Structures are given as structure tokens and as C-alpha cells.
Amino acid sequence: MNCEQARQLFDVYLDGELPSGLATELGAHRVQCARCRQELALMEVTSHIVASDEERASLSPEFSDRLIACLGEQTSGRLYRFRRVLYIAGPFAAAAAVLVLSFSVFFDRDQRVAGEKVEIGPASVATAESPSDASTDRAAPTPRGDRTVTDDPEAIAARQRREAAEDAIDRWVRQTAQRGSALSQALDLTVMQLLDMLEAFEQSQEHESHFPGAGAVTPLGQDQTDQLGDDDIEDL
Amino acid sequence: MTVDTAGVDTMAGVAATSQEQALERRLVRRARAGDRQALRELIDLHKDRLFAFVRRMIRNHHDAEEVCQDTFLKAFAALDTYSTQYRFSTWLFTIGYRVCLNSMRRKRALTGEVDFAALPLHSEETPEKVAESEDASRMRQAVWEAVQRLTPPQRAAVVLYYRHEHSCLDIARVLQLPEATVKSHLHRARARLRDLLAPISETDLNVFRNRAGLAG
């Protein structure tokens, strides 16, 4: 084995992965060649020194506390943004909920006031021919076209009740929308006042970061890693 | 009859590693849910090793501490993206390495030329007169100064391989390079270190090796 051949096996030999035959051959060359002997000894010492790394420098004792404090500031920042979104979107969600609730309450109340079961819905309102009646002489539903609506008193009464119900629904929807709008405006004003108070409070609490020059913290993104190619690093 | 103690040790080592990984997964799960105590435990578990690595990449103590802080902050901000198929330390070191590179680019921290001729280690008249601790101390200083002169990927590969006992595969994950490239970096790093440390005499090397128990 010559020096060039031996040098090609140094890495594998130092990692202890050289097959025993080649390891014996390299060991014999090492005994005979001073230069290869020195290089191998140098690498053994170097790897030992790096592995043992006896440097005593360590992080400051309050490192963990400072870091937790920084994390707290990060979390409250995110929480503030979440609350802000909630405060702005909340009133609209509340108004929609009030509208739906009122709608359902109205229908239930209207059914109780009318004293009879009226099926509410676009299809049923459009096609209701006769009311359902709890009494024994219940009139069977009559298909459309079998009667002349203007002549039948029951049909006329049914139509009038239906129109009254529709008018009542329209009035209630308008009133609820107005009330919802007013409520939404009132909530908006309250939210704006609350946000102003929150901003004033946070400005009074604002302080410098524990680590000067730390800069903004952003999650590590692929665009950041892509910017640091090995070619750039080689220039350092 | 021989007892396969190596196998038992390996099994114990594997069990310990599995326990450690299970603990890590539990801590990460709790940390994602906002548990501050879990965050603190993750910090305490990894901060020393991370600092040891960063300190060898960035020689300035204050800068190294700042890099460690930034690394943890970025890691916890992106905790939802961490996949438990990798060790948390590997993921943390990946972020730490990139933060180191950012820091070095900002400060352009180039190491200066080291005058190896001024070091008494290569002198033949002093080895016997110098106390053992000083001799070993100068040898270590020379080696670490040579390591500092490697390029960042080479330096990271050497430190992670020897100091932190990472496999080439783990180093590839940390440096976000192919495994073959990592092996190439290690190979070139060793060649470069041989060139830089060539002035050290064989006598000094043998003295150190004997005292460190490396001879054989």
C-alpha cells in the first residue's frame, strides 16, 4: 500500500469502518511511513479534542427565565390580534344570531296567537288551501284547481289569513333588522372604545426587548433557507 | 460462555433513547397546547447542547446566547410544523444552524490568521519543560482555532459529528444537505485540518496521545 492509497482510506479507518484486512494493511503502512503516521495521529488527536470539548462557557443562569418572558410577550401579541378579530366580527355574528332567534320566536308566537297550526314555509304558504283543524269535521285538503278560490268562503278566509301572516312576517323582519342594525352600531361603538382602551394600556406597558438587537422574530421559512445557499456561505 | 454486554448496552441505550423521545413527544404536545412548564422543560433539556454547538460556530459569547434565544423563539413559533418523525434536537439544531448563518452574514465574523509558528507546540525544545495541562491546553487551542478556519458547513459537520455524535444522516437533516454532501464536507474538513495542523510535531502529538490514552 502506498501513501496515496492509504490516504484515501483515512476517513473510513478513523471511523472504525474499514474491513479488517484493509485495516491491517493500513496499520502496517502506518508503522513504516512517518508522514502517514503523523497525519493519522493528528486526526486522532483532533477528533478526541473536538469530542471532549472542555470549554466551560455556558448560558447565563437567567436564560430560561428571559426566554419564557419573551415567549409570553409573543403569546399576548397573538392573543391581542385574535381578540381584535373577535371584537370586530363578534357584533355581526351576534346580530345574525339575534335575527335567527327572533325569527324562530316570532313563528312560534304567531302560531300560538292564531290558535291554529299554520305551516310556515314558502311552499306551504304558496299552496295552503285550507287550515288544519283540531275539530272532528276536518276538511280534507283540496287539490288546486278543483275549486274557484274567489267563490269559496273558506278559501277566501285562508287566503286572508295567509296574507296577514305574510305581512306580519315582513313587519317583524324589518323591525328586527332595524333593531339588529341599531344593536350592531351600539356594539361597534363599544368595541371601538374597548380597542382604544386596550391600545392605550399596551402602549403604557411597552418596553424594550431583554436582548438588544434581537430583532423581529419570524418563523423560519423556506424562503429564508433558500437565501442561504452554500455558495454564499463559502464566501464567509 | 460469553455475555453479550455490548448487546445489552445497546438495548439499554435504545430503551433510553426511546424513553427520551417519548418524553420529548409528550412535552411537544403539551407545549403546543400552551403549557408553559412544558416549554421550560424543552428549553432546559436542549439549551446546553444547542449552546455548545452554537458557541463553536460563533465565537462571541453574547452573540451565541442571542442566537440560542432566537432559535428557541423561532422553534416555538413554528412548533405546529414540527414532525415527530425527527428528533426535536435535530429540528432545533436545523433552526439553530440557519440562525447562526444569518448572524454570521450580518456581522461578517471572519476568523483571523493564526500564526502557528508562534505556538510552542511545534518547537522541539520546550515540550519536556512545559507542564502537562499547559501542553494539552495549547494543543486544544490550536485544534479549535483550526476548526474555526473551516467553512461553516465543514465546521458544523465536524462539530456535530465528533462533539455531538450525530450520524451523517442526522447532520444532513440539520444542514439540509444530501448525506453524500455531508460526507464530502467531513472529508474536506479533515484534509483542511491536517494541512492547518501540520506544523505540530509528531512528538507533541504522541505526548498528547499517550496522556489522553489514545495510543495503541
Q: Which helix (H) or strand (E) covers residue B58, if one does?
A: none
Model pLDDT, residue A26: 93
* Nearest CB partner across the interface for A42, out of B158, B159, B194: B194
Dist CA B124 CA A99 (whole Å): 95
With a cut of 60, say whether residue A111 has pLDDT above it: no
In chain B, residues with a C-beta closer than 8 Å to the C-beta of A67 are 43, 69, 72-73
Distance CA A210, CA B59 (A): 21
> Phi, psi (5° rounding) for residue A81?
-65, -40
**Local confidence band at B34 (pLDDT 50, 70, 90 cut-offs):** confident
Give tens-digit pLDDT for A41-55: 899 999 999 998 877
Of A10, A49, A59, the CB nearest to B139: A49
| pLDDT tens digit sequence for A126-185 | 444 444 444 444 444 444 444 444 568 888 888 888 888 888 878 877 777 776 666 666
Q: Is residue B47 very low, low, confident or very high in pLDDT (cuts 50, 70, 90)? A: very high
Q: What is the pLDDT of residues A58-96, one digit of tens each?
A: 888 889 998 988 887 665 555 555 556 666 666 777 777
pLDDT tens across A22-33, in order?
Answer: 999 999 999 999
Which chain B residues are Cβ-neighbours of A45 within 8 angstroms? 139, 143, 205, 208-209, 212, 214
Residue-wise pLDDT tens digits, B152-187 = 999 999 999 999 999 999 999 999 999 999 999 999
**pLDDT at position A155, please?**
87
- B73-80 LR contacts (CB < 8 Å, sep 24+): B73/A67, B73/A70, B73/A71, B73/A74, B73/A217, B74/A217, B74/A218, B74/A219, B74/A220, B74/B99, B76/A71, B76/A74, B76/B31, B76/B39, B77/A74, B77/A217, B77/A218, B77/A219, B78/A219, B78/A220, B79/B28, B79/B31, B79/B32, B80/B32
Residues of chain A contacting residue B188, judged by C-beta atoms under 8 Å apart: none
Using only C-alpha atoms, chain A has a radius of gyration, in whole angstroms, of 42
Q: How far apart are CA A76 and CA A198, in angstroms?
A: 12
Please tell me what DSSP assigns to residue B178: -
Which of these ranges, A109-113, A186-190, B75-79, B103-107, has the smallest mean pLDDT?
A: A109-113
Confidence of residue B44 (pLDDT cuts 50, 70, 90): very high
Question: In this prediction, does ipTM exceed 0.85?
Answer: no
Which pLDDT value is given to residue A232? 43
Contact by Cβ (8 Å): A156, A45:
no
More confident residue, A150 or A214: A150
